[in-house]
Structure 1
Amino acid sequence: MTAGPSVDLPLDPFLLEHLDDPYPVYERLRAAGPVVHLPERDLWVAARYESVSAVLRNYKVFASGLGSSYVRVADSGFRAPFIDNDPPVHTRIRRSVQQQFQRNRIEEMRPDVREPTERLVEAAVAAGEVDVVTALTQPLPDLAIRRLTGITPPDTETITSWADSVMHMVGPDADPVHMERVLEAVGWLAETGLAGMPAHCLGRLIMEQGGDTGQLGDERLMTLASIWLAGIDSTNSLLANAVHAFALFPEAWDAVRADPSLIPNAVEEVLRWDSPFRQFFRRTTEEVEVGGVTIPADADVCAVLPAANRDSARFADADTFDVTRPDARQHVAFGASIHLCIGAPVARLEAAEFLTSLASRVRAFELVGTPVRNPNREIRNFTSLPIRMVTA
């Protein structure tokens, strides 16, 4: 076994200059080795598909319980019930709500997702030119999560700010304001949001019955808050990234319009080509080898999901957006193994309904201004995406 190559700070994927277009630095990290050590951060980075998969799937050695984000739980004082726990605690929490995310339960949501999607898409198409973020991709996930959880937030602007801060809070060099906003969100939920939930919803199942298994204890509020907040910004990213991809690759949109049966696979290709989550973190419980590189015990390891999904060793012509790609679903955009994102079926449903509604109305997407990326080190989304919806 050998020690991993070290990389100077300019290759650091967390630097602001890499956030708008991180793929060049991801390519260089893949070329540098199976796992690369960043000495300035004392961080081990996996950017190849094989290495990322190894980290995500070996959950006993690459543990989440010390923290799945840049900052360890011991330092942040914040533990997300799903992603910051290992078995058996993680197993107990996940099983308490797993039934609510089965295919038949999610399918029951479809009419309630379709109605606001159709309404907002019709308004955007009628306007012609819109900022896709404010007109569509921010409000839609909130409406779907309301249906799923029973939680109705104060307004779209507030829930957008709260959800954005969740992602900022767990990144490097986070502004303390983001922790303050997340605490504000959880406080609002406890003091106001719970009382406004309907009689039968996921929120009441969690809070009043401890989930389907009745095994949730003190983590009930944080379990509900995690499902509520995490499902908004990630789906906002997926939907906006989809429109952006189809604006850049109009032939792909032509293919979807000609054959709407491609839409489910197109959703997977969006997830692969421009993944919402930038990375997940793990901490090693013992010395371990990845691709011939030795990582020491108690090391911080970063698995870079979009880098893995653009690895040409795994995906042919990986930088090309191809909605007919036969293995698109093999991406790791939602993680893998026991920590595979529990809300992935909801995001897929929202994205499929979104693209279906657009495909019946929009011939092409044209950028009418410069897209602005959110300088968020944890999730890849837009703060502005000006688009002309071409119908004629």
Structure 2
Amino acid sequence: MSSRSPGALAGSAELDPFRLEHVADPYPVYARLRELGPVVHLPERDLWVVTRYESVSAVLRDHRRFLSGLGSSYERVAETGFRAPFIDNDPPEHTRIRRSVQPRFQRGPVEQLRPGIRAATEHLVEAAVAEGEVDVVPALSQPLPDLAIRQLTGITPPDTATITEWADSVMHMIGPDADPVHAARVMASFEWLAGPGAAGMPAHCLGRLITEQGGETGLLHEGQERLLTLGSIWLAGIDSTNSLLANAIHAFALFPDVWDAVRADPGLIGNAVEEVLRWDSPFKQFFRRTCTEVEIGGVALPADADVCAILPAANRDPQRFADPDTLDVTRPDARHHVAFGASIHLCIGAPVARLEGVELLTALAARVRRFEIAGPPVRNPNREIRNFTSLPIRLIKDQM
């Protein structure tokens, strides 16, 4: 392979962002990778890593040269035999599949979910505040996405523990070095969905629209494609929002003055959700494959290269965001983050996740004066998504 820039440096094994020692705090290694150049090659994985905002955006927005159809996960579709409908397809297949459900994620239909999500949020927050000290993962960040996705899709899972395990395994499976147990759990989740899950869905829900009618357009292929499309919305929507919600509470526990600003001006809540997404992004990376030799920032990548775009690194790039390691809910360009991806592969469920984030912060701002970390936070050793398995928090009630 050729290079026309010193940015084509080879990263040492210590700079491998997938090593478990980087799970708790990956930002130092992300910064070192950014400093090396627009592209860094990891020889042991034969992987080209992009961490700068400009480079990550270029990869995500150019679907013609950086393909998703060969696989957007660490392993290629040819190696796993599994193709996720939304993220592992290029146009025109991607366009056909996405348009089949896109109307349900537009402003009007999403807004119709608000009353139910608000009621669920109020109930969960009231119970947590009454308790005083809770692990916010089982108390808030896990149950709320489950309840929201039930409203969206019509799917009622067997129990909270099972759906949490299934959703977590999806994220483990699409990352590197996945334990086979995760693939088995994901298979079990789709077997359940095809049987009792689908049978238990109410009439006129999104789940039945997809499985029985092929979506809004009727163009989803019968059988596996319909099931995988519904399952992708269901499972991905739970763990990613779980991450957003827990990361938000953790962030405001670390920056109490910023929480004071949010409470003083609830009009900041929408931008606060965007800033949390930028500051501690749920998804760690997406993968693409080159269809020809391409250039990024003066670095030539060969055809058929595996490219890893690291989203949280881009969102903390000082060349794009001023003082990027600081949480600033008044940041005017917070929404320019790439936490949900970009372009045609922008996360389809992003509007629902944003709605849940706004409702949770609104309910908490009305009741909680301060978040205090009440025990050691435990990060999930998941290489694909940044969330917690445990986050003990003391909720100091509002005295006003």
TM-score class, shorter-chain normalisation, is over 0.9
1:350 matches 2:352: no
Which residue in 2 is equivalent to 1:201?
205
Q: Which residue of 1 aligns with 2:321?
A: 315
Q: Which of 360, 364, 382 is the aligned partner of 1:376? A: 382
Counterpart code for 1:244: H
Query: Shift of the alpha carbon at 1:334?
Result: 0.2
CA deviation map 1:200-246 (0-9, x unaligned): 11001101110010100041000000000000000000000000000
Q: Which amino acid aligns with 2:4?
A: T
Aligned to 1:74: 78
77, 82, 92: which is aligned to 1:88?
Answer: 92
Matched residue, 1:158: 162
In structure 2, which of residues 228, 250, 268 is the aligned counterpart of residue 262 of structure 1? Answer: 268
Q: Give the match's secondary structure for 2:121.
A: helix
Show the counterpart of 1:122. Answer: 126
Equivalent residue, structure 1, for 2:137: 133
Name the structure 2 match of 1:210. Answer: 214
Secondary structure of the structure 1 residue equivalent to 2:168: helix
Structure 2 distance, partners of 1:170, 1:107, is 31
Aligned AA (1:241):
N
Corresponding residue for residue 278 of structure 2: 272
2:101 to 97, 121, 127: 97
Q: Which residue of 2 aligns with 1:22?
A: 26
Structure 1 distance, partners of 2:205, 2:263, is 36
Counterpart of 2:226 (choices 199, 216, 220) is 220
1:37 and 2:41 aligned: yes
Letter in 1 for 2:185: R
Report the Cα distance in structure 2 between the residues aligned to 1:170 and 1:211, rounded to whole angstroms.
Answer: 25
2:256 maps to what in 1? 250
Counting only pairs closer than 5 Å after superposition, residues 295-334 of structure 1 correspond to structure 2 as: 295-334=301-340
Q: Which runs of 5+ in 2 are unaligned?
A: none
The Cα of 1:118 is off from its aligned counterpart by 0.2
Shift of 1:341: 0.2
Quote the Cα distance in structure 1 between the aligned partners of 2:334 and 2:19.
Answer: 29
Please say if 1:2 is aligned against 2:4. yes
Q: Deviations over 1:85-109 (max 9, x none)?
A: 0000000000000000000100000
Structure 1 residue corresponding to 2:114, chosen from 92, 110, 116: 110
Q: Corresponding residue for 1:360? A: 366
The superposition leaves residues 308-343 of structure 1 with CA deviations (integer Å, 9 ceiling, x where unpaired) of 000000000000000000000000000000000000
The Cα shift of 1:171 comes to: 1.1
Cα offset for 1:185? 0.2
Q: Secondary structure at the match of 2:49?
A: strand
Q: How far has the Cα of 1:2 moved from its partner? A: 1.8
Amino acid at match of 1:95: R
The one-letter code of the counterpart of 1:56 is L
Question: Number of residues paired by the alignment?
Answer: 392
Match of residue 151, structure 2, among 137, 147, 150:
147
**Deviation, structure 1 residue 170:** 1.0
Shift of 1:115: 0.6
Relative to the length of structure 2, the TM-score reads: 0.97
TM-score (norm 1): 0.99
TM-superposed deviation, 1:78: 1.0
1:373 Cα shift?
A: 0.1
Residue matched to 2:345: 339
2:178 aligns with one of 174, 177, 198:
174
**Structure 2: how far apart are the matches of 1:34 and 1:164?**
31
Q: Secondary structure at the match of 2:368?
A: coil
Output the CA distance in 2 between the equivalents of 1:277 and 1:203: 25
AA in 2 matched with 1:252: V
Distance, in Å, in 2 between the alignment partners of 1:383 and 1:78 is 27
Separation of aligned partners in 2, 1:9 and 1:91: 38
In structure 1, the gaps of 5 or more residues are none
Residue identity matched to 1:100? R
CA distance in 2, matches of 1:92, 1:171: 26
- The CA deviation string for residues 60-106 of structure 1, in whole angstroms up to 9 with x for no partner, is 00000000010111111111000000000000000000000000100
Tell me, in whole angstroms, the C-alpha distance in 1 between the residues paired with 2:268 and 2:208: 37
Deviations 1:257-278 (A, max 9, x none): 0000100000000000000000
Within 5 Å, give how 1:50-65 maps onto structure 2. 50-65=54-69
- Partner SS for 2:307: strand
Secondary structure of residue in 1 paired with 2:203: coil
The 2-side partners of 1:173 and 1:308 are apart by 24
How big is each residue's C-alpha offset from its partner over 1:153-176, in whole Å with a ceiling of 9 and x where there is no partner? 000000000000000011111100
